[in-house]
Amino acid sequence: MYIPHGVIPAVLLPFEDDFSIDEKSYRAHLKDVTAVEGVTAITTNAHASEVASCTFEEQRRVLEVTMDEIGASVPVVNGVYADGSFDAQRIARMATEGGASALLVFPPALYTLGQRPEMAVEHFKRIADVTDLPLIVFQYSLAAGGQGYPLPTLLKIIEAVPTVRAIKDWSGSPQTHERNVRALQSLPRPINVLTTHSAWLFSSLVLGANGLLSGSGSVIADLQAQLFRAVQRNDLAAARRLNDRIFPTAEVFYAEPAVDMHNRMKEALVLLGKLPRAVVRPPLMKLSNEEIQKIRSALVLAGLLE
Protein backbone atom coordinates (compact mmCIF):
# COMPACT_ATOMS: atom_id res chain seq x y z
CA MET A 1 0.00 0.00 0.00
CA TYR A 2 1.20 3.48 -0.88
CA ILE A 3 2.08 5.49 2.26
CA PRO A 4 1.72 9.27 1.72
CA HIS A 5 4.96 11.01 2.71
CA GLY A 6 7.45 13.63 1.59
CA VAL A 7 6.70 16.63 -0.61
CA ILE A 8 3.20 16.55 -2.12
CA PRO A 9 2.19 19.74 -3.96
CA ALA A 10 -1.52 20.39 -4.38
CA VAL A 11 -1.79 21.58 -7.96
CA LEU A 12 -3.91 24.45 -9.28
CA LEU A 13 -6.58 24.18 -11.96
CA PRO A 14 -6.33 26.75 -14.78
CA PHE A 15 -9.47 28.08 -16.44
CA GLU A 16 -10.24 29.73 -19.75
CA ASP A 17 -11.76 33.22 -19.83
CA ASP A 18 -15.22 31.60 -20.03
CA PHE A 19 -14.45 29.65 -16.80
CA SER A 20 -14.15 26.29 -18.56
CA ILE A 21 -11.18 24.11 -17.63
CA ASP A 22 -8.01 24.92 -19.56
CA GLU A 23 -6.73 21.38 -20.05
CA LYS A 24 -3.67 22.41 -22.07
CA SER A 25 -2.40 24.73 -19.33
CA TYR A 26 -3.29 22.17 -16.66
CA ARG A 27 -1.18 19.53 -18.40
CA ALA A 28 1.76 21.93 -18.61
CA HIS A 29 1.33 22.79 -14.91
CA LEU A 30 1.32 19.10 -13.95
CA LYS A 31 4.52 18.46 -15.91
CA ASP A 32 6.21 21.51 -14.40
CA VAL A 33 5.45 20.53 -10.80
CA THR A 34 6.22 16.83 -11.12
CA ALA A 35 9.56 17.55 -12.82
CA VAL A 36 10.87 18.97 -9.53
CA GLU A 37 13.40 16.74 -7.80
CA GLY A 38 12.03 15.55 -4.48
CA VAL A 39 8.32 15.71 -5.30
CA THR A 40 6.89 12.40 -4.08
CA ALA A 41 3.27 12.77 -5.25
CA ILE A 42 0.73 15.43 -6.26
CA THR A 43 -2.77 16.19 -5.04
CA THR A 44 -5.65 17.22 -7.28
CA ASN A 45 -9.35 17.91 -6.82
CA ALA A 46 -8.61 19.75 -3.58
CA HIS A 47 -8.71 23.34 -2.29
CA ALA A 48 -5.90 24.42 -4.61
CA SER A 49 -7.79 23.24 -7.68
CA GLU A 50 -10.98 25.04 -6.61
CA VAL A 51 -12.81 21.75 -6.11
CA ALA A 52 -15.72 23.53 -4.44
CA SER A 53 -16.54 25.09 -7.82
CA CYS A 54 -16.18 21.87 -9.83
CA THR A 55 -18.97 19.44 -10.66
CA PHE A 56 -18.57 15.71 -10.12
CA GLU A 57 -18.02 15.17 -13.85
CA GLU A 58 -15.40 17.92 -13.93
CA GLN A 59 -13.60 16.27 -11.02
CA ARG A 60 -13.66 12.99 -12.92
CA ARG A 61 -12.20 14.71 -15.99
CA VAL A 62 -9.52 16.46 -13.92
CA LEU A 63 -8.41 13.08 -12.57
CA GLU A 64 -8.47 11.56 -16.07
CA VAL A 65 -6.21 14.31 -17.42
CA THR A 66 -3.94 14.04 -14.39
CA MET A 67 -3.50 10.31 -14.76
CA ASP A 68 -2.96 10.59 -18.50
CA GLU A 69 -0.30 13.26 -18.10
CA ILE A 70 1.70 12.21 -15.01
CA GLY A 71 0.02 9.12 -13.53
CA ALA A 72 2.86 6.87 -14.65
CA SER A 73 5.52 8.99 -12.95
CA VAL A 74 4.17 9.92 -9.49
CA PRO A 75 1.34 8.84 -7.17
CA VAL A 76 -1.80 10.95 -7.43
CA VAL A 77 -3.82 11.89 -4.36
CA ASN A 78 -7.45 12.76 -5.16
CA GLY A 79 -9.55 14.93 -2.87
CA VAL A 80 -12.86 13.70 -1.46
CA TYR A 81 -14.70 16.98 -0.99
CA ALA A 82 -18.26 16.20 0.04
CA ASP A 83 -20.70 17.18 2.76
CA GLY A 84 -22.53 13.84 2.80
CA SER A 85 -21.09 10.35 3.29
CA PHE A 86 -22.90 8.97 0.24
CA ASP A 87 -21.43 11.68 -1.99
CA ALA A 88 -18.03 10.96 -0.44
CA GLN A 89 -18.45 7.29 -1.35
CA ARG A 90 -19.31 8.25 -4.94
CA ILE A 91 -16.16 10.36 -5.27
CA ALA A 92 -14.05 7.65 -3.62
CA ARG A 93 -15.32 5.04 -6.10
CA MET A 94 -14.65 7.36 -9.02
CA ALA A 95 -11.10 8.11 -7.86
CA THR A 96 -10.35 4.44 -7.22
CA GLU A 97 -11.58 3.43 -10.67
CA GLY A 98 -9.68 6.39 -12.14
CA GLY A 99 -6.31 5.19 -10.85
CA ALA A 100 -5.64 7.45 -7.85
CA SER A 101 -3.08 6.23 -5.32
CA ALA A 102 -4.67 7.78 -2.21
CA LEU A 103 -7.63 9.90 -1.11
CA LEU A 104 -7.57 13.15 0.84
CA VAL A 105 -10.81 13.22 2.86
CA PHE A 106 -12.16 16.67 3.71
CA PRO A 107 -14.38 17.11 6.78
CA PRO A 108 -18.06 17.67 5.99
CA ALA A 109 -19.14 21.32 6.30
CA LEU A 110 -21.99 20.09 8.51
CA TYR A 111 -19.44 19.81 11.32
CA THR A 112 -19.42 23.59 11.63
CA LEU A 113 -22.54 22.95 13.73
CA GLY A 114 -20.67 20.47 15.91
CA GLN A 115 -19.73 16.81 15.67
CA ARG A 116 -19.69 13.61 17.68
CA PRO A 117 -16.75 11.17 17.43
CA GLU A 118 -18.99 8.38 16.16
CA MET A 119 -20.07 10.59 13.24
CA ALA A 120 -16.50 11.07 12.10
CA VAL A 121 -15.70 7.38 12.51
CA GLU A 122 -18.78 6.33 10.55
CA HIS A 123 -17.97 8.79 7.74
CA PHE A 124 -14.51 7.27 7.26
CA LYS A 125 -15.79 3.71 7.60
CA ARG A 126 -18.30 4.31 4.82
CA ILE A 127 -15.56 5.64 2.55
CA ALA A 128 -13.32 2.68 3.39
CA ASP A 129 -16.21 0.33 2.57
CA VAL A 130 -15.98 1.31 -1.12
CA THR A 131 -12.20 1.63 -1.61
CA ASP A 132 -8.97 0.01 -0.49
CA LEU A 133 -6.95 3.15 -1.21
CA PRO A 134 -5.01 4.72 1.67
CA LEU A 135 -6.87 7.63 3.25
CA ILE A 136 -5.47 10.97 4.39
CA VAL A 137 -7.52 12.71 7.08
CA PHE A 138 -7.72 16.46 6.46
CA GLN A 139 -7.31 17.88 9.96
CA TYR A 140 -8.74 21.38 10.37
CA SER A 141 -8.19 23.81 13.23
CA LEU A 142 -9.85 22.94 16.52
CA ALA A 143 -10.15 26.63 17.35
CA ALA A 144 -12.43 27.68 14.51
CA GLY A 145 -15.27 26.24 12.48
CA GLY A 146 -15.86 22.94 14.29
CA GLN A 147 -14.43 20.82 11.46
CA GLY A 148 -11.23 19.80 13.25
CA TYR A 149 -11.00 16.42 14.97
CA PRO A 150 -9.79 16.34 18.59
CA LEU A 151 -6.90 13.92 19.06
CA PRO A 152 -9.11 11.28 20.76
CA THR A 153 -11.41 11.37 17.72
CA LEU A 154 -8.45 11.03 15.35
CA LEU A 155 -7.29 7.99 17.29
CA LYS A 156 -10.78 6.45 17.10
CA ILE A 157 -10.83 6.98 13.32
CA ILE A 158 -7.38 5.43 12.95
CA GLU A 159 -8.32 2.43 15.10
CA ALA A 160 -11.58 1.81 13.25
CA VAL A 161 -10.26 2.36 9.69
CA PRO A 162 -6.97 0.56 8.95
CA THR A 163 -6.60 2.27 5.57
CA VAL A 164 -6.06 5.67 7.22
CA ARG A 165 -2.32 6.20 6.70
CA ALA A 166 -1.74 9.95 7.09
CA ILE A 167 -3.26 13.25 8.15
CA LYS A 168 -2.96 16.58 6.42
CA ASP A 169 -2.44 18.77 9.47
CA TRP A 170 -3.98 22.24 9.28
CA SER A 171 -4.58 22.41 13.02
CA GLY A 172 -3.19 25.95 13.09
CA SER A 173 -1.50 25.58 16.48
CA PRO A 174 2.16 24.66 17.00
CA GLN A 175 1.26 22.86 20.21
CA THR A 176 -1.52 20.83 18.61
CA HIS A 177 0.64 20.14 15.58
CA GLU A 178 3.54 18.84 17.69
CA ARG A 179 1.13 16.75 19.75
CA ASN A 180 -0.22 15.18 16.54
CA VAL A 181 3.30 14.49 15.24
CA ARG A 182 4.36 12.82 18.48
CA ALA A 183 1.16 10.83 19.00
CA LEU A 184 0.41 9.66 15.47
CA GLN A 185 3.87 8.94 14.08
CA SER A 186 4.71 6.77 17.11
CA LEU A 187 1.66 4.50 16.88
CA PRO A 188 2.19 0.75 16.25
CA ARG A 189 0.79 1.53 12.79
CA PRO A 190 2.43 4.92 12.26
CA ILE A 191 0.28 7.65 10.75
CA ASN A 192 2.34 10.17 8.81
CA VAL A 193 1.69 13.81 9.59
CA LEU A 194 1.79 15.87 6.39
CA THR A 195 1.96 19.51 7.36
CA THR A 196 0.04 22.11 5.45
CA HIS A 197 1.19 24.95 7.70
CA SER A 198 2.77 26.65 4.73
CA ALA A 199 2.74 30.05 6.44
CA TRP A 200 5.25 28.62 8.96
CA LEU A 201 6.59 25.61 7.08
CA PHE A 202 10.14 25.69 8.46
CA SER A 203 8.94 25.68 12.06
CA SER A 204 6.43 22.94 11.30
CA LEU A 205 8.95 20.63 9.65
CA VAL A 206 11.41 21.05 12.51
CA LEU A 207 8.71 19.63 14.81
CA GLY A 208 9.07 16.34 12.94
CA ALA A 209 6.35 16.04 10.29
CA ASN A 210 7.09 13.26 7.81
CA GLY A 211 5.96 15.32 4.85
CA LEU A 212 4.03 18.30 3.56
CA LEU A 213 0.95 18.66 1.41
CA SER A 214 0.61 22.24 0.26
CA GLY A 215 -1.01 24.40 -2.39
CA SER A 216 2.02 26.68 -2.44
CA GLY A 217 3.91 23.71 -3.84
CA SER A 218 2.18 24.61 -7.09
CA VAL A 219 4.56 27.59 -7.21
CA ILE A 220 7.55 26.80 -4.97
CA ALA A 221 7.80 22.99 -5.06
CA ASP A 222 11.56 23.18 -5.54
CA LEU A 223 12.10 25.38 -2.48
CA GLN A 224 9.81 23.15 -0.44
CA ALA A 225 11.65 20.01 -1.52
CA GLN A 226 15.02 21.54 -0.71
CA LEU A 227 13.75 22.68 2.70
CA PHE A 228 12.33 19.26 3.50
CA ARG A 229 15.63 17.58 2.60
CA ALA A 230 17.62 20.08 4.67
CA VAL A 231 15.47 19.50 7.74
CA GLN A 232 15.59 15.74 7.26
CA ARG A 233 19.39 15.77 7.28
CA ASN A 234 19.34 18.20 10.25
CA ASP A 235 21.11 20.94 8.27
CA LEU A 236 19.33 23.82 9.96
CA ALA A 237 21.68 26.46 8.56
CA ALA A 238 20.69 25.48 5.02
CA ALA A 239 17.05 25.20 6.09
CA ARG A 240 17.09 28.76 7.45
CA ARG A 241 18.54 30.08 4.21
CA LEU A 242 15.80 28.36 2.25
CA ASN A 243 13.18 29.62 4.67
CA ASP A 244 14.43 33.17 4.07
CA ARG A 245 13.48 32.70 0.42
CA ILE A 246 10.15 31.02 1.16
CA PHE A 247 9.08 33.58 3.76
CA PRO A 248 8.13 36.45 1.39
CA THR A 249 5.98 34.11 -0.68
CA ALA A 250 4.22 32.83 2.44
CA GLU A 251 3.57 36.41 3.53
CA VAL A 252 1.68 37.24 0.33
CA PHE A 253 0.04 33.87 -0.38
CA TYR A 254 -1.39 33.52 3.13
CA ALA A 255 -2.41 37.11 3.78
CA GLU A 256 -6.00 37.89 4.72
CA PRO A 257 -8.48 36.97 3.43
CA ALA A 258 -7.27 33.37 3.32
CA VAL A 259 -9.90 32.50 0.72
CA ASP A 260 -7.66 34.16 -1.90
CA MET A 261 -4.57 32.04 -1.21
CA HIS A 262 -4.80 29.93 -4.37
CA ASN A 263 -6.00 32.92 -6.38
CA ARG A 264 -2.67 34.55 -5.45
CA MET A 265 -0.75 31.44 -6.48
CA LYS A 266 -2.34 31.57 -9.92
CA GLU A 267 -1.23 35.17 -10.27
CA ALA A 268 2.28 34.12 -9.23
CA LEU A 269 2.39 31.50 -11.99
CA VAL A 270 1.27 34.11 -14.53
CA LEU A 271 4.08 36.42 -13.39
CA LEU A 272 6.52 33.51 -13.72
CA GLY A 273 5.31 32.81 -17.26
CA LYS A 274 3.88 29.41 -16.33
CA LEU A 275 0.17 30.18 -16.80
CA PRO A 276 -1.41 32.32 -19.52
CA ARG A 277 -4.08 33.81 -17.23
CA ALA A 278 -5.22 33.75 -13.60
CA VAL A 279 -8.94 33.14 -14.00
CA VAL A 280 -10.79 31.94 -10.89
CA ARG A 281 -14.39 30.82 -10.64
CA PRO A 282 -16.94 32.90 -8.73
CA PRO A 283 -17.40 33.65 -5.92
CA LEU A 284 -13.60 34.12 -6.10
CA MET A 285 -12.63 37.27 -7.98
CA LYS A 286 -9.64 38.79 -9.75
CA LEU A 287 -7.08 40.40 -7.45
CA SER A 288 -6.32 44.12 -7.54
CA ASN A 289 -3.26 45.38 -9.40
CA GLU A 290 -1.85 46.52 -6.07
CA GLU A 291 -1.97 42.98 -4.66
CA ILE A 292 -0.50 41.51 -7.83
CA GLN A 293 2.43 43.90 -7.48
CA LYS A 294 2.97 42.64 -3.93
CA ILE A 295 3.12 39.10 -5.30
CA ARG A 296 5.66 40.23 -7.92
CA SER A 297 7.83 41.79 -5.20
CA ALA A 298 7.66 38.60 -3.14
CA LEU A 299 8.78 36.50 -6.10
CA VAL A 300 11.72 38.82 -6.61
CA LEU A 301 12.70 38.58 -2.93
CA ALA A 302 12.46 34.79 -3.18
CA GLY A 303 14.89 34.79 -6.11
CA LEU A 304 12.26 33.38 -8.47
CA LEU A 305 11.80 36.48 -10.64
CA GLU A 306 14.26 39.12 -11.78
Rg (CA), the chain: 18
pLDDT for residue 144? 78
Give the pLDDT confidence score for residue 50 in this predicted structure: 98
pLDDT at 143 (0 to 100): 84
> How many angstroms separate the CA atoms of 43 and 77, rounded?
4
pLDDT of residue 1: 87
Return the pLDDT at 304.
Answer: 98
What pLDDT does 241 receive?
A: 98
Cβ proximity of 298 and 248 under 8 Å: yes
Q: Which CATH class is domain 6-235?
A: alpha beta
Mean pLDDT by 10 residues, the chain (306 residues): 96 98 98 98 98 98 98 97 98 98 97 94 98 98 90 98 98 96 98 98 98 98 98 98 98 97 98 98 97 98 97
Q: Domain boundaries in the chain?
A: 6-235
- pLDDT given for residue 12 in this prediction: 98
